[in-house]
Amino acid sequence: MKGLDGVSDRNEAGGTVTNPVIPGFHPDPSVCRVGADYYLACSSFEYFPGVPVFHSRDLVHWTQIGNVLDRPSQLRLPVDTPSSGGIYAPTLRHHEGRFWLIVTNVSDGGNLLVTATDPAGPWSDPIRLPGVPGIDPDLVWDEDGTCWCTVAGIAQVRIDPYTGETFGPPRQVAASTPGAKAPEAPHLYRIGDYWYLLIAEGGTERGHGVSVARSRTPTGPFERCPANPILTHRSTDEPIQNTGHADLVQAPDGSWCMVLLGVRPGGGTPGWHVLGRETFLAPVGWENGWPVVGELAPVMPAPSWPLHPGPELPQRDDFDLSELQPCWISLRDRPAEHCSTKERAGWLSLRARGASLDDNDVVFVGRRQQHLSCRASTRIDPAEGRGGLAVRLDEQHHYEIEAAAGEVTVFARIGPLRTEVASRSVPAGPVDLGVRVTARRTFDDPRTGPDTVSLGVEEPDGAFTVLGELDGKYLSSEVAGGFTGRVIGMYAAAGTVHFDWFDYEAT
């Protein structure tokens, strides 16, 4: 089965749906509705192409249709861009027949704005916004067509979205809770008689939450909701944590919903999340003119509106197409001379640049890990070089199995330590490499990690020979820090290596 576009687990049996609706490293969701269609964009940080875009007809089933920043002219990520640098927190909106996306490149010039008539692309080259400070920019138009941009902080400035010109200095808006940590992710909406300003507070870790304020005008003064935060899972034992960075949208039946980020920690103490911050869906009601967030859980009652499942998640990519599917991501860039499906028909060819996954310029093509337990495998021909299959969080936290002529080796990089775990000889020619991720459901020690990561060889008879079994907690945000999640993929460390196929499935 070709392609890897579909990303959402499906579970409508018994009148329920599964959260997250977009699993894996898909943080900072922003959503807009155009007629019966919904479009959603997420942060991408140091990965190229940037800002994945999804489509849905029901807010539950999402299919990736492209990436907003998919050309070097749109996205510059210098080689010294750190992991968790790059692209932060887009806002996606539709206005006057056009899609608008405003986002921050913290590693190259700050805020920028791009537009498209089709959200699948192509998107325009960016308009730079030197007069818009900070991160997490929002975009909204008032009744007379004036465009307002609100950023983390919470500050607001009027802009011309066609030129990037700003009018006056940014003005602080008193809408966040006094003393609250990290007021960010502002989104401003006109709903009924009020302008509502939704913000995140408490930091993007366990204290994260969503608050709201309202005003009769887009510029305030704003009245804070007496029930703030309207959503938080801090200091609870809920399985979904770090809830925040939300965006409101009207559902197909006229009710309201919220997309937001959250994490699924596992293991002992303090709990480790390994998939990054994922996109969740929660219902929203209204009481006394204020939004009230309903149940947010891993399995929720199905909504009242019809569901429109998209394509199921294909397991395999045989690299038969001339271009990679939009779910494939690389580190900082993807020059054609280092990554091609045209050099050898039906194979992905990677030509090395960096010498290992410790290097910022390593040639790597991966996809987000989206399930707590999963397997991935690939067939590599290392006759012209050296490369392999990796589970990556950043340059200092990754596990990989690497093939060179006649040998495979498992490596682990954990902070300052890089070690060879195991090696074995293999026959000359292509070899099948595999990764198994197994979530732990029980633990007898508070230090028990959330999962195990096993790396080995897929034998010709179908058996999997494990060469290294490693604790998954070291590939988690709680250990490594940062804002991203695991990515599983292929890399080249020397010469040119070719990959016949890549297979991924939940287990």
Q: Could you give the residue numbers annotated as active site?
A: 28, 184
3-state secondary structure at position 391: strand
- Residue 383, classified by CB atoms within 10 Å of its CB into exposed (0-12), middle (13-18) or buried (19+), is middle
Burial call 23-40: b when 16+ CB within 10 Å, e when fewer: bbbbbbbbbbeeeeebbb
The token pair at 76 is: 């510059």
Cα 182 to its chain centre, rounded Å, is 20
Instruction: Return phi, psi of residue 474, to 5°.
Output: -75, -15
Cβ neighbours of residue 264 under 8 Å, at least 6 residues apart?
A: 20, 239, 240, 241, 273, 275, 278, 298, 372
The token pair at 275 is: 């998939």
Q: Are 453 and 475 in contact (CB under 8 A)?
A: yes
Among 130, 124, 123, 187, CA closest to 164: 130
The token pair at 270 is: 């303090």
Instruction: Give the CA count within 13 Å in the CB-facing half-sphere of 351.
Output: 11
Radius of gyration of the chain (CA): 23
Termini Cα distance of the chain: 18
- By residue count, the chain amounts to 507
The token pair at 22 is: 């977009």
Cβ neighbours of residue 261 under 8 Å, at least 6 residues apart?
A: 27, 28, 29, 204, 242, 243, 244, 245, 246, 277, 278, 279, 280
The token pair at 441 is: 């459901």
Residue with tokens 């001339």: 322
